Amino acid sequence: MDDYDKTCLESALVGVCNIVQQEWGGAIPCQVVLVTDGCLGIGRGSLRHSLATQNQRSESNRFPLPFPFPSKLYVMCMANLEELQSTDSLECLERLIDLNNGEGQIFTIDGPLCLKNVQSMFGKLIDLAYTPFHAVLKCGHLTADVQVFPRPEPFVIDEEIDPIPKVINTDLEIVGFIDIADISSPPVLSRHLVLPIALNKEGDEVGTGITDDNEDENSANQIAGKIPNFCVLLHGSLKVEGMVAIVQLGPEWHGMLYSQADSKKKSNLMMSLFEPGPEPLPWLGKMAQLGPISDAKENPYGEDDNKSPFPLQPKNKRSYAQNVTVWIKPSGLQTDVQKILRNARKLPEKTQTFYKELNRLRKAALAFGFLDLLKGVADMLERECTLLPDTAHPDAAFQLTHAAQQLKLASTGTSEYAAYDHNITPLHTDFSGSSTERM
């Protein structure tokens, strides 16, 4: 039955699921508000039926909860608690919240069903789910009252070690600035608009709660527009300089403020939250270790602003940056042998490269216990020696013989020549003085 003339909460939830994913993807938090009269439908497609068959689904018709995106499910019942409790409706609805990993809440009407009570129920939802997040943005003594939108979500770093969700401070303290090139498109948990707000005399934000008369608000806004605001200054300079401000959101939690252009004319101050922790971005190092450039012996950005202390280099290089030896595929081994051979034929010009490649192969063969390879390459070098043309430099023959001999010694696996840190060095010959290296 695809008719939409009967209560079928599951299809509604599936619909929500698809729409949200198509539109927003799977990463954006979404509040789903389900308005119902508390009746769950009848027969197939009813919520009771859905819940009963919930465990017998295949991957293709999976029950839509939990939603495949961060979500809160709010169920607004147009019925009071007693009515719902008289049947099992409430239980079923509670199951829905449970299925959504407990994310959400059920609202019911207090008292009889009338406009006022419905309004009050939705008022509660607004208070719970749509309260704006107000904060004070600080940069030393420069401050601005701001609203952060959307509300930053609490974050759990490790459910086992630290299961308490972290919430961001209402004091957003700028700790310093970094060039956009240095911060380099960092991964963020979420991003938020930072909107400056005006405070009225009592210290309450203008425009919270029930909206005032529009005209009043406009004139208040116009006055606020003319009062210098730190957010606007910060935004302008971040935009012009191509920088971001690093902002502290809590203990070991940071984020960045930057200018985000929506179009050529419109742009805004945005804040992105990094993952909480002492070192959210490896290329900046530990956040606590970032200090003012004036403490450094010399300006790390250079006198002409032509260098940067970032990115930080890790202690150990990754495999792709350190010329590791991998012989899993025969081609890997063949390439390495070929390199030695190529350089062998250009002795003595390529003496240094020849020995460098030879030693690389030697080390790997010793580590892998692949001593047959050392013997094989030794044989190969000896053969190369016999194949040298008459025009060859006399040093070439000496070096090839020497290298072959050294490999053979290493291939016994027992002598000092088989030590990993031992390197085969070029043989000193009467000719070697003239064999300058041209790498």
Partner 1 sequence: MKIFSESHKTVFVVDHCPYMAESCRQHVEFDMLVKNRTQGIIPLAPISKSLWTCSVESSMEYCRIMYDIFPFRKLVNFIVSDSGAHVLNSWTQEDQNLQELMAALATVGPPNPRADPECCSVLHGLVAAVETLCKITEYQHEARTLLMENAERVGNRGRIICITNAKSDSHVRMLEDCVQETIHEHNKLAANSDHLMQIQKCELVLIHTYPVGEDSLVSDRPKKELSPVLTSEVHSVRAGRHLATKLNVLVQQHFDLASTTITNIPMKEEQHANTSANYDVELLHHKDAHVDFLRSGDTHSGGSSREGSFKETVTLKWCTPRTNSIELHYCTGAYRISPVDVNSRPSSCLTNFLLNGRSVLLEQPRKSGSKVISHMLSSHGGEIFLHVLSSSRSILEDPPSISEGCGGRVTDYRITDFGEFMRENRLTPFLDPRYKIDASLEIPLERAKDQLEKHTRYWPMIISQTTIFNMQAVVPLASVIVKESLTEEDVLNCQKTIYNLVDMERKNDPLPISTVGTRGKGPKRDEQYRIMWNELETLVRAHVSNSEKHQRVLECLMACRSKPPEEEERKKRGRKREDREDKAEQAVKEHGPEKPRPDSDRLKGILERGKEDLAEAEVIKDSPDSPEPPNKKPLVEMDEPPHMEKSKGPMSLLSLWSNRINTANSRKHQEFAGRLNSVNNRAELYQHLKEENGEEVGLTGGPRTSIPFLKCSHSPVVNRMETTENGKASRQ
* Closer to partner 1 by Cβ: residue 55 or 313: 313
Are the C-beta atoms of 98 and 75 separated by less than 8 Å? no
- The one among 43, 154, 165, 282 contacting partner 1 by CB under 8 A: 282
Strand order, beta sheet including 30-36: 30-36, 71-80, 104-109
Are the C-beta atoms of 348 and 399 separated by less than 8 Å? yes
* Closer to partner 1 by Cβ: residue 195 or 392: 195
Question: CA 435 to CA 439: how far, in whole Å?
Answer: 12
Binding flag, residue 306, partner 1 (CB under 8 A): no
Identify the three-state secondary structure at position 109: strand
How many chain residues touch partner 1 (CB under 8 A)? 143
Binding flag, residue 242, partner 1 (CB under 8 A): yes
* Closer to partner 1 by Cβ: residue 110 or 379: 379
Binding flag, residue 174, partner 1 (CB under 8 A): yes
Annotate 21-53 with DSSP letters as a single string. HHHH-SSS-EEEEEEE-S---SSTTSHHHHHHT
Q: Which tokens belong to 330?
A: 């025969």
- The one among 88, 171, 173, 349 contacting partner 1 by CB under 8 A: 173
Binding flag, residue 424, partner 1 (CB under 8 A): no
Question: Rounded to the nearest whole angstrom, what is the least distance from the CB of residue 142 to partner 1 in the complex?
Answer: 5
Give, as ranges, the residues between 1 and 60 that touch partner 1 (CB under 8 A): 21, 23-28
Question: CA 431 to CA 208: how far, in whole Å?
Answer: 89
Are the C-beta atoms of 139 and 104 separated by less than 8 Å? no
Question: Rounded to the nearest whole angstrom, what is the least distance from the CB of residue 92 to partner 1 in the complex?
Answer: 27
Residue from 338, 333, 342, 390 nearest 364 by CA: 333
Binding flag, residue 234, partner 1 (CB under 8 A): yes
Binding mask 197-216 for partner 1 (x = CB under 8 A): xx------------------
- The one among 377, 385, 400, 404 contacting partner 1 by CB under 8 A: 377
Point out which span in 43-51, 78-86, 113-121, 140-148 binds partner 1 (CB under 8 A): 140-148
Question: Rounded to the nearest whole angstrom, what is the least distance from the CB of residue 350 to partner 1 in the complex?
Answer: 16
CA dihedral 290, 291, 294, 300 (to 10 degrees): -10
Name the DSSP letter for residue 199.
B
Is the Cα torsion angle 228, 232, 237, 240 positive or negative in sign? negative
Q: Which tokens belong to 138?
A: 């600080």
Q: Which tokens belong to 188?
A: 């963020």
Question: Rounded to the nearest whole angstrom, what is the least distance from the CB of residue 58 to partner 1 in the complex?
Answer: 13
Point out which span in 5-13, 43-51, 117-125, 261-269 binds partner 1 (CB under 8 A): 261-269
DSSP bridge partners of 260: 268
* Closer to partner 1 by Cβ: residue 36 or 272: 272
Give, as ranges, the residues between 88 and 127 that touch partner 1 (CB under 8 A): none
Question: Rounded to the nearest whole angstrom, what is the least distance from the CB of residue 412 to partner 1 in the complex?
Answer: 10
